[in-house]
Amino acid sequence: MVSAKNETHTGRIRLGMVGGGNDAFIGGVHRIAARLDDHFKLMAGALSSTPEKSIESGAALGLPRVYEDFKTMAIREARRKDGIEAVSIVTPNHVHYQAAREFLKRGIHVICDKPLTSTLADAKKLVKAAETSDALFILTHNYTGYPMVRQAREMIAAGEIGKIRVVQVEYPQDWLTTEQDFKQAEWRTDPARSGAGGSTGDIGTHAYNLACFVTGLDVVELAADLTAFVPGRQVDDNAHVMLRLEGGAKGMLWCSQVAPGNENALRIRIYGETGGLEWAQEDPNYLWHTPLGSPKRLITRGGAGAGEAAARMSRVPPGHPEGYLEGFANIYAEAAQAIVAHRTGAKAAPEVMFPTVQDGLKGVQFVDACVRSAQRNAAWVKLAP
């Protein structure tokens, strides 16, 4: 990756963070990702919903400026000559829209965790806010930053497996198999904060985004069977979703957080008229390619057969594992290139690629369609183009 191997700008981008305080898993991941290629410097934060915890978390991180709430942070940072240029939003889903809006309208670039928002109405409003702002909006669907995911996308775009017929994608976990009593489970299973989708919003959106990103196809309509297996749970913890994609391709998406023995088993298989591809997140440096009528062949990150799209996402020689944190860091590095280009009014290089607010809208539309389909006994529901 250009941004991983070479310096893309002079001086690091001043970064702020909303959410991600003490005991918040994803905040730490974003901070590592932002630091990995040394393109960002964390300068300010509103790290918790309570002022006391925000100040405590900021002190623990040694931040120069800590705020009690994100609106105050946006106002004051926009007024400073040395204010932040970009902000990472790593709060529970229901805060994404309000927080992102405050920074976007002040011209501060937004790097937001997925899903885009907790409701479709908020997602549509956030799209408008992003489109009317001069700032960039980056959504951290981190799996799009994996080298072999880029390799698969490049091969499909080049026609190496022919016209796509079948897409199978799954993301099973087991951490919500029983009723849990800790912070992550508490908000992720609360529809007021997570949104109407449980596993569909939390990990189903990842699987859905991956399928669309790799194939280059949008889903036209779907039929979803959603279940909450744990008694009393208000959102789904398992979903089976039939997909009809552009061009006549058919697909199936399974996401589950009640599948014992699975940790983060995101996997995709794509079959075309002349071959197939298979990739698994827990073994991310390998991509299996099966040309029709030939033996299955293994393409490795940095190895023979891997192309430029994968090379741009790689940092270390082949055989050394790269994965989750590097995938996140690749999104941040791509964002850095786009932000630096934006400083001068230039366009980022054509190979720079990251999920946008429109990708976020598609994810929320997916969740909304799944819920509506399930309410109608798995009836087929069309997705907005």
Distance (Å, rounded) from C-alpha 16 to C-alpha 274?
47
Sign of the CA dihedral 19, 21, 23, 26? Answer: positive
Does residue 3 surpass a pLDDT of 80? no
Does residue 167 surpass a pLDDT of 80? yes
Name the pLDDT band for 22 (thresholds 50, 70, 90): confident
Is the model more confident about 161 or about 346? 161
Average pLDDT over residues 271-278: 98
Distance (Å, rounded) from C-alpha 45 to C-alpha 51?
11
Name the pLDDT band for 296 (thresholds 50, 70, 90): very high
Instruction: Lowest mean pLDDT of 164-168, 315-319, 377-381, name the range.
Output: 315-319
Contact between 203 and 170 (Cβ < 8 Å): no
pLDDT digits (tens, 9 = 90+) for 183-237: 778 889 999 999 999 999 999 999 999 999 999 999 999 999 999 999 999 999 9
Q: What is the pLDDT of residue 282?
A: 98
Name the pLDDT band for 2 (thresholds 50, 70, 90): very low
Q: What is the pLDDT of residue 69?
A: 95
Strand runs (DSSP E) across 20-131, as ranges?
Answer: 40-46, 65-66, 86-90, 109-112
Does residue 17 surpass a pLDDT of 60? yes
Delimit the domains of the chain by residue range.
Answer: 2-143+331-354, 147-318+362-382
Does residue 9 surpass a pLDDT of 60? no
CATH class of 147-318+362-382: alpha beta
Does residue 4 surpass a pLDDT of 90? no
Average pLDDT over residues 287-294: 98
Average pLDDT over residues 67-93: 97
Give the domain 2-143+331-354 fold.
Answer: Rossmann fold (3.40.50)
pTM recorded for the entire structure: 0.95
